[in-house]
Amino acid sequence: MVNIKVGDTVPQGKFATVPYSPELEDGLACGVPTKISTDAWKGKKVVIFAVPGAFTPTCHSNHLPPYLQNYDAFKAKGVDVIAVLSANDPFVLSGWTRVQNVKDKLVALSDVEGAWSKELGLTIDLSGLGIGLGTRTTRYALVLDDLVVKYIGVEEDPTQVTASGADAVLAAL
């Protein structure tokens, strides 16, 4: 059950991330995870889109690429930060965003054990698929302005990208 709505202030959250650096262009480099909290978004306009898993078909082909392709359009609408969030570990997210050629345009946030998304009521149990996914972030998008939710788009069917997609979020800005 979704526990957050437009007008709410998001709860405090802490995430792991491997910040982009040119050294990561070497496929053998892993980077060093750091922590980022929602406090970093005070006074900023932030777009977060959550995916059930890096390198999974819909996330890899249909969800992340349009955000990257529309980077300039998001910036033109005053967005300070675009973040992709997943329960994957920060090394997997770093590898995924390198394959996608994200560089420093998007921030890849590891929602460790899906804790923040769980607090928002935005997790999904995918253990029934039998491929080892377990509990993950569901597919959703948030627009935050100074930590206040201005838009929330949650997919009824997490295999689809509609309300959480780049086009829907751009239209809401």
Going residue by residue through the chain (173 aa), what tens digit of pLDDT does each one get? 788 999 999 999 999 999 999 999 888 888 999 999 999 999 999 999 999 878 776 777 889 999 999 999 999 999 999 999 998 889 999 999 999 999 999 999 999 888 899 999 897 665 555 555 656 688 899 999 999 999 999 988 888 899 999 999 999 99
* Torsion sign, CA atoms 88, 93, 99, 100: positive
Is-contact 138 120, C-beta < 8 A?
no
- The one catalytic residue in 4, 51, 59, 109 is 59
CATH topology of domain 40-172: Glutaredoxin (3.40.30)
59 assigned to active site: yes
Beta strands at 81-86 and 45-50: parallel, antiparallel or unpaired: parallel
Give residue 5's identity as a one-letter amino acid code.
Answer: K
Encoding tokens for residue 11?
């709860």
- Beta-carbon count within 10 A of 21 CB: 12
Residue 66: what are its φ and ψ, rounded to 5°? Answer: -65, -30
